[in-house]
Amino acid sequence: MIGEVASFRRDLSAWYRHNARDLPWRRTRDPYAIWVSEIMLQQTRVAAVIEYYQRFMEQFPTIEALASAPEESVLALWSGLGYYRRARMMHHAAQIVEAEHGGKMPSTAAQLRKLPGIGDYTSAAVASISFGEPVPVIDGNVERVLLRLRGEPAVKGHPDAPGLSDLKAAAQALLDPDAPGDFNQAMMELGATVCLPRAPLCAECPVRAYCRTQGEHETGPAKKMRSLQVAYALIRQAPGPRTAILMTQRSAQESQMPGLWELPVIDPEGLAEDGILLTLRHSITNTNYYVTVYSLLPDQRERLRVPARSLRWINARELRTIPLTGLARKVLKRLKIMPGYTGMGPLVVIEDEG
């Protein structure tokens, strides 16, 4: 693919040393810390992960601490990151590592893949960064860089689009065997900050001389989003430091966010506009939710569209200790109910365009 592999490695590595973002998980080679960061970074922006990663590592600094924690505590700390199956699988994997590996992370990609929730990408990242195994990482950023370097389309179904095995072979050929972890991180960084999906910064690219597309690349159509409108109720007991909020817990059998807590869904028909506390937009995967939150009284519970057995009064001070959906956390923060709750007082309507 590229004749001057050695110079490609040298140019990319020099750029990475001078331009890499200072991220907390890059200050360590600890396989547990790398594992946590890579799981959190799946389908989640780096800026959103930093605070969660730091809090998570403070609460669960070792595999033993994570393995011995109740699942609800892990989910509560994960609340807001989304894709909660990641947290459940990581918790289960930590228990396996503690029980079957003496609390030590396996050191090869093949061994790591045997753990729940660890696939090709995460196993290669941990094995290369923490243990120096020469295995390439293929995530969305690296895939895009490779396709552009090779001059191949990224559109799925395109007759000339390469398969995963072709990309792995190309990545393996480029990989620096003397510093595989740094090289993998450099490739990911290049895709995340320079070789962008749209409007790539080709003038800033350290390996532009090796690129066959020079910014002209078929990437396929943008993801289509659907829109849904939904209404929730904020029902509270008497204002003050002992006030409680009526919350509902999603069934453990639900496919999305099982066991997490949220505000109850309501039928808003006939409700007055002056009862609106908050409107906002919340995006999950390919759906934009346009949310309206109403203030209701306890005797208006007939409007709720959730099973009565799922409802529970939760003290506002305890909200940070239970696993909440990302939307519930966003609403409660916007309404100044958490964190730093000191008594509710009047609630203010907040308009959010995005």
> Is residue 1 predicted with pLDDT exceeding 60?
no
> Is residue 320 predicted with pLDDT exceeding 90?
no
> Is residue 153 predicted with pLDDT exceeding 60?
yes
Cβ-based neighbours of 250, under 8 Å, separated by 6 or more = 256, 257, 258, 259, 260, 261, 262, 310, 325
Residues of the chain with CATH 3.90.79.10: 226-351
Mean pLDDT, residues 174-196 taken together: 97
Residue 42 tokens read as 């799946």
CATH 1.10.340.30 given to domain 5-210: yes
> Is residue 157 predicted with pLDDT exceeding 60?
no
How does the average pLDDT of the chain come out, rounded? 88
Residues of the chain with CATH 1.10.340.30: 5-210
Please count the residues of the chain: 354
Element (H, E) at 280: strand 276-284
pTM, rounded to two decimals: 0.75
How far is residue 209's CA from residue 223's CA, in Å, rounded to a whole number?
Answer: 31
How far is residue 264's CA from residue 250's CA, in Å, rounded to a whole number?
Answer: 10
Which residues does the annotation mark as catalytic? 38
pLDDT range class, residue 285, cuts 50, 70, 90? confident
55-64, 70-79, 146-155: range with highest mean pLDDT: 55-64
The tens digit of pLDDT for each residue in 219-250 reads 655 667 889 999 999 998 866 667 799 999 99
Q: Which residues of 265-285 are buried (b: 16+ CB within 10 A; e: fewer)?
A: ebebeebeeebebbbbebeee
Q: Please name the residue that has the structure tokens 């595989």.
A: 180
pLDDT range class, residue 217, cuts 50, 70, 90? low
pLDDT of 219 reads 60
Q: Would you identify the CATH topology of the domain 226-351?
A: Nucleoside Triphosphate Pyrophosphohydrolase (3.90.79)
